[in-house]
Amino acid sequence: MTVEQQRLLRTAIPGPASLALHERKQKAVSAGVSTGLPVYIERAAGGILVDVDGNQLIDFGAGIAVTSVGNSATRVVEAVQRQVADFTHTCFMVTPYAEYVEVCEQLAELTPGEHEKRSALFNSGAEAVENAIKVARHATGRDAVVAFDHAYHGRTNLTMALTAKSMPYKAGFGPFAGEVYRVPMAYPYRWPTGPESCADEAFATFTTQVHTQVGEENTAAVILEPIQGEGGFIVPAPGFVKRVADWCHEHGILFIADEIQTGFCRTGDWFASEHEGVVPDLITTAKGIAGGLPLAGLTGRAELMDAVHAGGLGGTYGGNPVACAAGLAAIETMKELDLAGRAREIEAIFRPRLEALAAKYDQVGDIRGRGAMLAIELVAGADDTTPNAALTAAVNRACHQEGLVTLTCGTFGNVIRFLPPLVAGDGLLSEGLDILDEAFGTATA
Ligand SMILES: *Cc1c(COP(=O)(O)O)cnc(C)c1O
């Protein structure tokens, strides 16, 4: 790798060069675009980010589950360089190219289900979700879409409507797209009657609400993240996802899995739907698909995707050849290095350490996730599950100061999530977990 896989602190975090850039940022970049940790990155590889002060930080965020194959992954770099030299853009809707077709072939092969599939490519996750709704409405002739509490599906107008959390994603940005309905998520840790009754009760509420408030015959689709991302790494109660998908099928409602964060090996399989034993009608992908280049996909049953009239889907840049070349290289890397298997190894490294942390600190209320998509939910104490956003922020800050890039999430801002690049070595992961442990000591002192 081009960057030594080692943490190294030369200055305080952030250092002087980062602080100077940050001052320029405040004068040039909209305040609406905020940064979690204002260290400015100059180079990165594997599990290390190098900032402009020469500090080397351990990366437990992967740019929000994007650089699963690592930053500047060799195959991705070579493929991008080749493609940039060959040609950068024609617009697939004007004069097409093989790379787009090859990415769609890979999506057909790798996504759940053996049925005939078609895909379309876009620039961002939100755009893929928007297009999933377009296809679902067109194919069913129905308007309504059902989304869940704690859901995150993006920041465009329609995807803001699907997203649950107001601050910061929606506040002041309405009115939102219509015909979007929200139902409870089977969130075991916070289910009022306890985790055992969670799946049954959440499913009953879901079916009742869709029946009485929307009408099955009006519902085009139900969209669900098989593990909720921004909402707090909520793993739905066992069996819930399957029951929802089966029920949708019975009523001619399309089941859309938003696998933008969970997809491409992150949860220990190619897609998280596989753990739930469901085959989505439509599946959205982005983030981990292309080693950091902007690429997103919508893949679905051929008869749904082909129901749309010619010219109904697309976009100037969607499936850009450079992004597609990166996607193909990233997929090849995932196969060659068995990164799904590596995600399971990462879980085996993290789980016992997070359990030890929970044994030591009553404020660790829940440990959850799958593969290399893991999180801890912080609460007031052993018998008080009041969300503890203050401690979450303090631990996060203490990690940052020691050169560990961590991310928070959750409807209540009280979840620390771990999304390391899948190629990060055991030594770095273990050192990062040591820093997390020390950060708890600092934050609770
Ligand atoms: C990040 C994310 C999106 C939005 O993707 P963008 O590329 O940021 O538009 C949608 N759904 C889920 C589950 C995500 O994690």
* Same structural domain, 39 and 81: no
Name the pTM for this structure. Answer: 0.98
Residue 201 confidence (pLDDT): 98
Distance from C-alpha of 286 to C-alpha of 296, rounded to nearest angstrom? 4
Ligand 1, pocket residues at CB < 6 Å: 124-126, 129, 152-154, 225, 229, 258, 260-261, 286-287
Residue 442 confidence (pLDDT): 96
* Same structural domain, 21 and 119: no
Is residue 109 in some structural domain?
Answer: yes
Strand 364-370 and strand 415-418: the pairing is: unpaired
* Same structural domain, 91 and 191: yes
Task: Give the residue whose CA is nearest to atom 8 of ligand 1.
Answer: 125
pLDDT reading at 78 higher than 70:
yes
Mean pLDDT of 130-157: 98
CB 372 within 8 A of CB 346: yes
Report pLDDT digits (tens) over 239-284. Answer: 999 999 999 999 999 999 999 999 999 999 999 999 999 999 999 9
| Percent of the residues in the chain that have a pLDDT greater than 90, as a whole number | 100
Is residue 115 in some structural domain?
Answer: yes
Is residue 94 in some structural domain?
Answer: yes
Q: Specify the CATH number for the domain of residue 332.
A: 3.40.640.10
* Same structural domain, 162 and 267: yes
* Same structural domain, 331 and 274: yes
| Distance from residue 292's CA to the centre of ligand 1 (Å) | 13
Residue 408 confidence (pLDDT): 98
Distance from C-alpha of 392 to C-alpha of 40, rounded to nearest angstrom? 23
The alpha-helical segments, DSSP class H, found in 32-176 are: 62-65, 74-86, 98-110, 125-140, 157-162
The alpha-helical segments, DSSP class H, found in 263-403 are: 273-276, 302-305, 321-336, 339-360, 389-401
* Same structural domain, 146 and 244: yes
Is residue 241 in some structural domain?
Answer: yes
Report pLDDT digits (tens) over 348-391. Answer: 999 999 999 999 999 999 999 999 999 999 999 999 999 999 99
Please enumerate in sequence order all residues whose Cβ is within 8 A of that of 339, keeping only pairs 6 or more positions apart, or say none: 68, 69, 265, 333, 422, 423
Report pLDDT digits (tens) over 163-188. Answer: 999 999 999 999 999 999 999 999 99
Report pLDDT digits (tens) over 195-249. Answer: 999 999 999 999 999 999 999 999 999 999 999 999 999 999 999 999 999 999 9
Report pLDDT digits (tens) over 20-70. Answer: 999 999 999 999 999 999 999 999 999 999 999 999 999 999 999 999 999
Which one, of 418, 369, 407, 410, lies nearest residue 164 by Cα?
410
* Same structural domain, 29 and 86: no
| Distance from residue 20's CA to the centre of ligand 1 (Å) | 31
Averaged pLDDT of the chain: 98
Look up the domain containing 351 and give its range.
16-72+338-444
| Distance from residue 172's CA to the centre of ligand 1 (Å) | 20
* Same structural domain, 284 and 160: yes
* Same structural domain, 39 and 120: no
* Same structural domain, 162 and 291: yes
Q: How confident is the model at residue 1 (pLDDT cuts 50, 70, 90)?
A: low
Q: Tokens in use for 90?
A: 């024609």
From the CA of 151, give the closest atom in ligand 1. Answer: 13
* Same structural domain, 210 and 354: no
| Distance from residue 155's CA to the centre of ligand 1 (Å) | 8
pLDDT reading at 2 higher than 90:
no
Element (H, E) at 250: helix 240-250
